[in-house]
Amino acid sequence: MEMLDKDGHFEYSKTIAVKSMEDAMGISLYPNPAKNYIIINHPFAGNNEQLQIVNIRGNIILQKKINAASFQTRIDLPALPKGVYELVWTNGKDFSGNRFMIQ
């Protein structure tokens, strides 16, 4: 994305590649569409993994550290508006994402 200043100076924002979570990392979520919560199945977690819910504008709406030694995480969706969101998994080095809908 190009960011333009009032004086005409511009620079490009950092690009991050996002892979399909289900294919690349063996991560899936349900129910989809969701209402009150989602459950994420993910690989056995170490100490650095976290999940983020990102809105269509790219804003991080919710962030949750994954408990070490877990393979499933539940995230309550506290009154988030209906719409399409991206679930992002990261270990601080790699990122993967998967879309879901809140009804």
Overall residue count recorded for the chain in this entry = 103
Q: Which two tokens stand for residue 62?
A: 């919710």
Report the percentage of the chain scoring pLDDT > 90.
54
- The answer to whether residues 101 and 32 touch, using CB atoms and an 8 Å cutoff, is yes
Instruction: Tell me the whole-structure pTM to 2 decimals.
Output: 0.72
pLDDT, residue 79, reads 84
Going from N- to C-terminal start, the domains of the chain cover 16-102
- 67-99 per-position pLDDT tens digit: 989 999 999 998 899 999 999 988 888 888 899
Task: State how far the Cα of 91 lies from the Cα of 66, in Å rounded to an integer.
Answer: 10
CATH dotted code for 16-102: 2.60.40.3080
Amino acid at 11: E
Distance (Å) of CA 67 to CA 45, 47, 51: 7, 7, 11
